[in-house]
Structure formats: C-alpha cells, structure tokens
C-alpha cells in the first residue's frame, strides 16, 4: 500500500510560489523606479516594499525543502530529465508563440535568448534559480556524502563558517565608496549559497534539537521575523530620507543570503514541517504545479515585460488609493497563479505523464546518478 503524502510541505510550496509571484509583481514591472524619499514615507511605497519582500525568502525555502528531503537520497537521471524537459518545454513553447505573433518589445535578440536561458545565464555569470537548481541536483549526491559522514559538531562548524561568510558579512558590513554611496559586500547568490541552504535543510533533518523543531517554535519565529522585516523596511526608509546615499530599504530580504531572508525561511519551514494537516489531494495536486508556475510567469525578460508592463500595467496603478493598490496586487497575483496552475496541470496530464511513463521503463534512467559504493 502506497503511503499518502502529507500536505503540510505541499501547502508551504504553494505559499512560497505566491510569495515569488508577489516579488515579481514589483521588481519586474518598474514599480521600484517610482519610489520617492522626499520627506515622507508613502503608504503605497511601503506596501509594495513589504509585498515584494518574500521572493528571496521563498527561494531559501525551496532549497531547505530540497536539502531536508534529499540529504539521505540520491537523484536519478529520470528525475533530472523531468525538470530539464519541463524547463525546455516552456522555453520553446512560450518564446515560439511570442515569435510567431511578432511580440518583440525588447528586441529579437532578447526573445531568442529566451530559448536557452540556462546557458545564457550561466555564460553571462547571472544568478538564476532554475539553472543553479539543476546544477545543485547534479552535485547533491556528493554533498550528501559529506552530510552523512560529518558529526553534529563538524556540521555546526561548517554551517557557522558558511553563514558568517555568506550572511553575516553581507548583511552587516558596509562601506562608502568614492561616489558617495553606501555599499555592502556582494550577495553571493550563486551555487555556493545554494549548497549552504541545502546544508541547512540537511541539518534540520539530522541534527536539529527537538525542543526547537516544533510548530510552536516555528510560529513564534515566523511572527518575529515578519515584524522584523516590516520594521527594518520602515526604519531603513526613514534613514534613506535623511541620507539619500543609504542602501535600499529592503536590503535584509532582497538577497537570499541576507539575515532576515534566511531567518524567515527557516522559521516558515519549521512551522509547516510540524503542522499536522494530513493528506489533501487538492493541495498536493495544486502544489505539483509549483515549478511550472515559476517557469511560465518568470520565463524570460520578454514574458516579464508582457505580463507586468503590457498586460497588467502595474506602474499605472501605483498612485491609486491604498485599498485599490492592495486589492489589485492581490487579485493580479491570484489570476496569474491560477492560470499558470491550470496550464501546468494540463501539461502534466497530456504530455509529461505519457512521456515519462515510457521513459520510466528504461532501466538506466531510474538508477541513482552516482554509485554509493566506496572507491576501492
């Protein structure tokens, strides 16, 4: 008898992809260019800053989930191919549609780059969740060997060193450059950070003390983290009004490795991991489209321009009433999410399921990518 999959983590996936979509609503539409610091903090600006603050938190959450569930397993070529096929399917279909209908607002070259964003992003040294996640899957068996051979003390030391380098320095160390603006060290959101977040997920599974690993602890930490995020954004806005050269108000959440992005992701994961909501077929089905939602609405620069600039025209709604901007933002995100879920569920049923049923019969595709046997 197949054990039913609990829906607590699946519900978290849904919430996190909604957080990513809210983030994209702001950062991909040009709304940030409308922010002003002319002596007062506008309510609409503050709402947009908070509304968009969950994107990097969600990325960390996805990595924590991967590390937690994969640290004791080994990925297969079939699993890797399923993700790669999904990525390439949407790249080819979406960008072909744009090309056929003649939609090239950013230029034909930008549109053509959308066919192979994985290679373009890596070649250009850009940080892409999709490309980096595929590479993380390939190296995860080697990371797992490290995870399973370290003692708890060694694991803590390793995480301490990595978090000091990636999070503490990047969150708190700042300097004023020759142009008069304050800068922090780089975000370092490359493969190194992905491995660090993966390791955190593994630590939670193998070594986290039971007194911390409770829904109550997760809830308290989540509430505290949310308060800190809102407070930090407000305080940093005030500082920026008085000192225009100050860094962005969302600094502590707009980098995956920043202090509040890390703390909130861990808090949410611990909270939902310990929720007992049983099995929900609806939640699990909708959650299965999470990666598809990301691949569709965040497919390329062309898609981002199409959605946020041409279709929904987000910037034109920035100066409406406070209630209107909140309702509109929530409704737009909900519309995009529902449409993307429907599209991806259809793809799963009509294309992916029959294709990978056939591929699943090929023996070497279902074997672990790397042999667990020790070298002799």
Backbone angles phi, psi at 39, to 5 degrees: 110, -10
- pLDDT 10s digits, 74-105: 888 899 899 999 998 998 999 899 989 988 88
- pLDDT 10s digits, 258-271: 999 999 999 999 99
pLDDT band at 163 (very low <50, low <70, confident <90, very high): very high
- pLDDT 10s digits, 18-62: 999 999 999 999 999 999 888 788 999 999 999 999 999 999 999
d(CA 261, CA 266): 9
pLDDT band at 13 (very low <50, low <70, confident <90, very high): very high
Among 136-140, 286-290, 354-358, 372-376, the range scoring the smallest mean pLDDT is: 372-376
Q: Tell whether the model's pLDDT for residue 185 goes beyond 60.
A: no
Residue of 124 and 86 predicted with greater confidence: 86
> Which residues, 6+ apart, have CB-to-CB distance to 149 below 8 Å?
none
> Which residues, 6+ apart, have CB-to-CB distance to 292 below 8 Å?
86, 90, 340, 341, 343, 344, 347, 348
Going from N- to C-terminal start, the domains of the chain cover: 8-366
118, 134 contact by CB (below 8 A): yes
The reported pLDDT for the residue numbered 252 is 85
Dihedral (CA of 168, 172, 176, 177) sign: positive
d(CA 226, CA 228): 5
The reported pLDDT for the residue numbered 3 is 63
- pLDDT 10s digits, 213-227: 999 999 999 999 999
| Residue 174 per-residue DSSP state | E
265, with CB counted inside 10 A (0-12, 13-18, 19+), is buried
The reported pLDDT for the residue numbered 175 is 66
Q: Tell whether the model's pLDDT for residue 177 goes beyond 70.
A: no
Using DSSP, state whether 354 is helix, strand or coil.
helix
Beta bridge partners of 182: 176
Q: Tell whether the model's pLDDT for residue 122 goes beyond 50.
A: no
pLDDT band at 375 (very low <50, low <70, confident <90, very high): very low
> Which residues, 6+ apart, have CB-to-CB distance to 153 below 8 Å?
none
- Closest-CA residue to 67 (of 213, 174, 193, 167): 193
The reported pLDDT for the residue numbered 120 is 47
Angle at 260 between CA 72 and CA 200, to 5 degrees: 10
pLDDT band at 186 (very low <50, low <70, confident <90, very high): low
**Farthest-apart Cα atoms in the chain, separation:** 70
Average confidence (pLDDT) over 321-343: 97
């Amino acid at each position: 008898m197949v054990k039913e999959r609990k829906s607590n983590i699946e519900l978290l996936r849904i919430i996190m992809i909604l957080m990513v979509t809210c983030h994209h609503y702001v950062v991909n539409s040009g709304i940030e260019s409308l922010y002003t610091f002319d002596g007062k903090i506008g309510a609409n600006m503050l709402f947009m800053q908070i509304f968009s603050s969950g994107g990097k938190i969600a990325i960390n959450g996805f990595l924590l989930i991967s590390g937690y569930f994969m640290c004791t397993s080994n990925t297969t070529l079939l699993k890797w191919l399923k993700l790669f096929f999904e990525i390439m399917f949407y790249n080819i279909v979406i960008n072909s549609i744009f090309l056929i209908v003649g939609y090239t607002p950013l230029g034909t070259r930008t549109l053509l780059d959308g066919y192979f964003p994985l290679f373009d992003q890596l070649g250009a040294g850009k940080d892409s969740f999709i490309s980096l996640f595929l590479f993380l899957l390939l190296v995860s068996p080697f990371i797992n060997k490290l995870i399973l051979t370290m003692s708890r003390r060694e694991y803590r030391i390793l995480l301490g060193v990595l978090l000091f380098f990636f999070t503490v320095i990047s969150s708190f160390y700042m300097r004023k450059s020759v142009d008069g603006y304050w800068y922090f060290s780089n975000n370092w959101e490359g493969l190194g950070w992905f491995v660090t977040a993966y390791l955190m997920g593994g630590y939670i599974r193998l070594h986290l003390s039971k007194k911390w690993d409770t829904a109550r602890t997760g809830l308290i930490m989540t509430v505290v983290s949310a308060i800190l995020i809102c407070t930090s954004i407000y305080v940093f806005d005030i500082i920026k009004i008085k000192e225009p050269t100050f860094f962005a108000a969302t600094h502590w959440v707009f980098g995956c490795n920043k202090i509040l992005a890390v703390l909130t992701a861990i808090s949410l994961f611990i909270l939902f991991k310990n929720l007992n909501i049983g099995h929900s077929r609806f939640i699990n089905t909708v959650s299965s489209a999470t990666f598809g939602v990301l691949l569709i609405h965040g497919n390329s620069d062309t898609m981002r321009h199409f959605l946020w600039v041409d279709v929904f025209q987000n910037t034109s709604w920035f100066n409406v009433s406070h209630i209107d901007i909140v309702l509109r933002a929530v409704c737009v995100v909900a519309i995009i999410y529902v449409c993307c879920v429907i599209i991806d569920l259809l793809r799963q049923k009509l294309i992916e399921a029959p294709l990978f049923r056939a591929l699943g019969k090929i023996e070497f595709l279902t074997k672990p990518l790397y042999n667990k046997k020790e070298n002799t």
